[in-house]
């Protein structure tokens, strides 16, 4: 092994904004068969915006903003931003709970309030009109959350996070190399499919609970080595499980720590560049 080649490779990467933190990933790169991507913040910009509100807008926003104030989820940030723009202030709530992969709940004004997706609604029956709205909005690649008090759904909020301008080109490059591309997300199947279609992803696994992402990576490892690309706290176990963990530089510290490679420019086209550089560097040192 020639450490010089490794240094040259990592030095060249650093200049391109590709940090190879862990030389061990280099050995796996030649055998990567599948590249698995997180959706939010990785394929998409990660700054969701409220686009539609169904129901009494002021009431829906007041309840949703009050409940989401203690949440750190990107969807919560979108709702709070929209409430602020509409000059609607949050009211204090008690007993706030985040329900993983589903939403949030708290006591609002003496009622059991909630904001979340379909999975949170097991005790409710959606009326046909709201159910149709949900499907229509999801087909437009918008994430739908319902807002409710006690047994009543008072409205819904649609939130959109657009694909990064370079994501489609990045995916096409990897496919041209014969790699299989997969999107792994906690978001709804319809929304995930709509984004996947825009960027050309081969396969979608949606409605994945945060704790299950690493297991999904493991399943793909049955068919060859896997690279995982992600940015969130909940991506860290999958980044560690993957043969090549690639973290976005804009990601959370926990994701960056877990990644063997870091893409400083947050440009998904650098995944292909990172794989090519790693391959070249490895072939020189072996
Ligand atoms: P990902 O980061 O992969 O998109 P998450 O597991 O964070 O997935 O969230 C999955 C889904 O759970 C969201 O798309 C949304 O429907 C629901 N959800 C999670 N947190 C919240 C929240 N604070 N408010 C409303 N809905 C939420
Ligand atoms: Mg993410």
Strand partners for 183: 37, 204
| Whether residue 151 sits in one domain with residue 64 | yes
148 and 221 belong to one structural domain: no
**Do residue 205 and residue 259 come from a single domain?**
yes
Which residues fall within 8 angstroms of residue 163, CB to CB, at 6 or more apart? Answer: 43, 44, 45, 195, 198, 199
* Same domain membership, residue 156 and residue 207: no
pTM of the complete model = 0.89
Ligand with an atom nearest the CA of residue 145: 1
- Phi/psi of residue 109, nearest 5 degrees: 55, 40
Q: How many domains does the chain have?
A: 2
Out of 160, 183, 212, a domain closes at 160
Q: Across residues 163-181, what is the average pLDDT?
A: 97
Both 205 and 156 in a single domain? Answer: no
Summarize the confidence of residues 124-129 as an average pLDDT.
83
User: What does the pLDDT read at residue 2?
Assistant: 66
**Percent of the chain with pLDDT strictly greater than 70:** 99
Domain range spanning residue 125? Answer: 49-160
Give the domain CATH number at 147: 3.40.1110.10
Claim to verify: residue 278 and residue 177 sit in the same structural domain: yes
CA 87 to chain centre: 29
Counting ligands in written order, the one closest to the CA of 74 is 1
Whether residues 70 and 207 fall in one domain: no
d(CA 236, CA 95): 29
Residues 35 and 171 in one domain: yes
Instruction: Assess whether 92 and 37 both reside in one domain.
Output: no
Q: Quote ipTM for the complex.
A: 0.95
Task: Render pLDDT for 53-93 as a digit per residue (tens, 0 to 9).
Answer: 999 999 999 999 999 999 989 999 999 999 999 999 999 99
Residue of minimum CA distance from atom 14 in ligand 1: 187
Is any ligand 1 atom within 6 A of the Cβ of residue 118?
no
Q: What is the pLDDT of residue 145?
A: 97
* Long-range contacts from 89-97, C-beta under 8 angstroms, 24+ separation: 89/65, 90/62, 90/65, 90/66, 91/62, 91/66, 92/66, 93/66, 93/67, 93/69, 96/67, 96/70, 96/71
Whether residue 275 sits in one domain with residue 169: yes
């Amino acid at each position: 092994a020639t450490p010089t080649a490794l240094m040259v490779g990592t030095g060249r990467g650093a200049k391109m904004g590709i940090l190879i933190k862990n030389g061990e990933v280099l050995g796996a790169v030649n055998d990567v068969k599948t590249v698995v991507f997180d959706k939010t913040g990785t394929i998409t910009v990660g700054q969701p915006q409220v686009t539609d509100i169904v129901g009494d807008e002021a009431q829906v926003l007041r309840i949703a903003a009050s409940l989401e104030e203690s949440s750190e989820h990107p969807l919560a940030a979108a709702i709070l931003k929209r409430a602020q723009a509409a000059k609607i202030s949050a009211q204090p709530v008690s007993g706030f709970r985040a329900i993983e992969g589903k939403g949030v709940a708290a006591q609002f004004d003496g009622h059991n309030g909630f904001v979340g997706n379909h999975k949170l609604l097991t005790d409710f029956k959606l009326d046909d009109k709201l159910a149709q709205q949900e499907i229509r909005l999801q087909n437009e690649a918008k994430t739908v959350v319902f807002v409710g008090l006690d047994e009543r759904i008072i409205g819904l909020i649609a939130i959109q996070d657009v694909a990064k301008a370079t994501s489609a080109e990045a995916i096409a490059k990897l496919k041209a190399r014969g790699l299989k591309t997969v999107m792994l997300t906690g978001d709804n199947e319809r929304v995930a499919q709509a984004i996947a279609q825009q960027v050309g992803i081969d396969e979608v696994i949606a409605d994945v609970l945060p704790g299950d992402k690493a297991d999904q990576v493991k399943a793909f490892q049955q068919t060859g080595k896997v690279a995982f690309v992600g940015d969130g706290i909940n991506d860290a176990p999958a980044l560690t499980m993957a043969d090549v963990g690639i973290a976005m530089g804009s990601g959370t510290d926990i994701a960056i720590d877990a990644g063997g490679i870091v893409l400083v420019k947050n440009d998904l086209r650098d995944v292909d560049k990172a794989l090519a550089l790693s391959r070249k560097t490895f072939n020189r040192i072996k």
